[in-house]
Amino acid sequence: MSIMIENQRTPVDDETLTLRQIVDCSPALLHTARPDGYLDFFNQTWLDFSGEPLEKLLGWGWTSCIHPEDVESFAQRMRESFAKGVAFQETSRVRRADGQYRWMLHQKVPLRDSEGKIVKWHGSSIDIEDQRRSEDELRRSAQRLQRSEHELLGIIDTIPSMLWAASPSGEVTQISQSVREYSGLSLKDFLNLGWKRFIHPDDVEDTAKTFFQAIQTGASYSVIHRLRRRDGEYRWHHARGEPLRDPEGKIIQWYGLSIDIDEQKRAEDHLRETHIKLTRASRIATVAELSASIAHELNQPLMSIFASAQAAKRWLAASSPNIKEVNTSIERILRDARAADETMQHIRALFKREPFVKKEVDIPDMLMEAIRFVQEDPKKREVAIEWQIDEPLPSISVDRTQVQQVFINLLSNAIEALEGNQAVPVVRLTAKKDRDEIIVQVIDNGPGVVDAERIFDAFVTTKDKGMGIGLAVSRSIIEAHGGRLWAENSPDGGARFNVALPLDPVNKNPTEDPGYRA
């Protein structure tokens, strides 16, 4: 039995038909050519791919399907292969039926007879478009990776810090250009613990201990040490390292950097030395301030002693000596001498941090004595001190000398604040009981206070020749007695300093006790 194959117009038997069906069903584009290169057969796959009729492809008509940029070189290579009788392999772009060009791998091999003469050429074209695109993408990816790696290496080598890498065991695997330039060493010099020569001998032990502890524990590495520059100078650096881990958490590499902190370190050392010097100078200044404050504290009773002594001398020098007035002056001298001695004892106790002794004190008596001490100062006599003390006031348990000195200081400050004031100077002292406290106020009509809280800081003063220690000590004394000392500006102008001293429970009015029942 024989039939006609439509494309080839050749009768074939059943066996040949089966072979033709296999050839036409092949995914490759198959063809044959005569010994001179004339293509005389294309399988159905070729015809379907190109969308062209067989008659147009026969001979050299198939070249119309080759990309114009590839056809000349491709045909030339093919002719050379046919002329030499050698196998042929080449790639080119072939136009598909939809007009799209796809890359094909073309192969042709000669079929020879028993005498070695070429009787036929068999060829195939395989679509490698997807493979070619994958290869191109891989190539582009490799190029991008290469560029990225090159850029990364460029960045690493241009970073002003020194970068390094080490294996999980701690062996140095890479150093940046900045490390090589700074140290004058190569990567080989850092291997087998050679990096120890790069570190100041005094810092090697601590550096090695910290580094290998990080290697063993996987913790971050941080150390400050001195590194030797290629000229032999050591400079301070801060070295840090972090581990790179895989998805399972296993360390696969260590990366680190060293930052030059020499200028910062030297600046810190200079600041530390300056701070020590300033602290020493501050201590000296503090001693000077305290010495002046002590002199100020003793000035009041000493001025009183001086005034009483002058009075006694005048009474004795009179034509008729007044022995009674002389005795009164001597009593005042003795009293003020004892006050000066008590002041000195309390200052000594303050420096020794000894606890003060509280005694029951009559508030009006203590305040009137404070007024007298202030007015016996010749520089403060011209300003009258008005006072208003509610009677009767309960006694309180305080250290009389210390608390009285607070009121002397507040009164003296009030008078000094009025210097150069255009208005008639007014200084008032009031005392009253307010529930469980005794409130004493020292009021003036001066310029007032700018910062009512900061003036109680040590060495802060508003006076040209002030020491800035009086109010700080005064607040400490009052707070040590469980009281409060604060300042505020009066609504009518001037300043108002308030002292609140707590009453002992036994001195409270029982009717004011929240737990009292009639």
CA geometry: angle at 387 spanning 385 and 391, to 5°?
160
Considering the domain architecture, whether residues 436 and 340 belong to the same structural domain is answered as no
Determine the Cα–Cα distance for residues 261 and 224; give it in Å rounded to an integer.
9
The stretches in the chain having pLDDT less than 70 are 1-17, 148-161, 275, 277-300, 341-356, 378, 381, 458-469, 505-518
Q: How far is CA 426 from the centre of its chain?
A: 55
Determine the Cα–Cα distance for residues 403 and 367; give it in Å rounded to an integer.
10
Residue 475 amino acid letter: R
> Alpha helix (H) ranges present in 318-449?
323-352, 363-375, 400-417
Considering the domain architecture, whether residues 119 and 39 belong to the same structural domain is answered as yes
Q: How far is CA 403 from the centre of its chain?
A: 48
Give the residue among 71, 123, 130 at the shortest CA–CA distance from 95.
71
Determine the Cα–Cα distance for residues 361 and 393; give it in Å rounded to an integer.
11
Considering the domain architecture, whether residues 255 and 272 belong to the same structural domain is answered as no
Of 77, 106, 127, the domain-final residue? 127
Q: Which domain holds residue 325?
A: 264-349
CATH number at residue 274: 1.10.287
Considering the domain architecture, whether residues 360 and 488 belong to the same structural domain is answered as yes
DSSP structure string for 129-187: HHHHHHHHHHHHHHHHHHHHHHHHHHHHHHSSSEEEEE-TTS-EEEE-HHHHHHH---H
pLDDT digits (tens, 9 = 90+) for 149-198: 566 555 656 566 688 888 999 898 888 888 888 889 888 888 888 888 88
* Domain assignment of residue 232, yes or no: yes
* Domain assignment of residue 145, yes or no: no
What per-residue confidence (pLDDT) applies to 121? 92
Considering the domain architecture, whether residues 323 and 402 belong to the same structural domain is answered as no
Q: Give the list of residues 6+ apart from residue 376 with CB closer than 8 angstroms, or none.
A: 300, 303, 304, 307
* Domain assignment of residue 458, yes or no: yes
* Domain assignment of residue 518, yes or no: no
Of 227, 260, 293, the domain-final residue? 260
- Residue 202 phi/psi, 5° resolution? -75, -15
Residue 364: is the preceding peptide bond cis (ω within 30°)?
no
C-alpha to C-alpha distances, 221 to 187, 195, 456, 499, 518, nearest whole angstrom: 21, 16, 48, 58, 76
Tokens of 73: 């070189």
This model's pTM is above 0.75: no
Considering the domain architecture, whether residues 309 and 285 belong to the same structural domain is answered as yes
Q: Which residues of 226-248 are buried (b: 16+ CB within 10 A; e: fewer)?
A: bbbbeeeebbbbbbebebeeeee
Determine the Cα–Cα distance for residues 369 and 90; give it in Å rounded to an integer.
123
Number of domains in the chain: 4
- Rg over CA atoms, the chain: 54
Considering the domain architecture, whether residues 118 and 209 belong to the same structural domain is answered as no
* Domain assignment of residue 67, yes or no: yes
* Domain assignment of residue 133, yes or no: no
CATH number at residue 394: 3.30.565.10
CATH number at residue 73: 3.30.450.20
Report DSSP state, residue 198.
G
C-alpha to C-alpha distances, 241 to 123, 149, 210, 212, 340, nearest whole angstrom: 62, 21, 11, 12, 68
Considering the domain architecture, whether residues 360 and 508 belong to the same structural domain is answered as yes
Considering the domain architecture, whether residues 374 and 498 belong to the same structural domain is answered as yes
Of 310, 333, 349, the domain-final residue? 349
What per-residue confidence (pLDDT) applies to 150? 62
* Domain assignment of residue 377, yes or no: yes
Considering the domain architecture, whether residues 6 and 112 belong to the same structural domain is answered as yes
- Cα dihedral across residues 357, 359, 365, 367: positive or negative: positive
CA geometry: angle at 92 spanning 88 and 98, to 5°?
135
* Domain assignment of residue 139, yes or no: no
Determine the Cα–Cα distance for residues 79 and 164; give it in Å rounded to an integer.
59
Tokens of 411: 């009164």
Considering the domain architecture, whether residues 254 and 302 belong to the same structural domain is answered as no
Tokens of 325: 């007035």
Give the residue among 479, 483, 366, 377 at the shortest CA–CA distance from 429.
366
Q: How far is CA 219 from the centre of its chain?
A: 21
Contact 128, 103 (CB under 8 A): yes
Considering the domain architecture, whether residues 246 and 287 belong to the same structural domain is answered as no
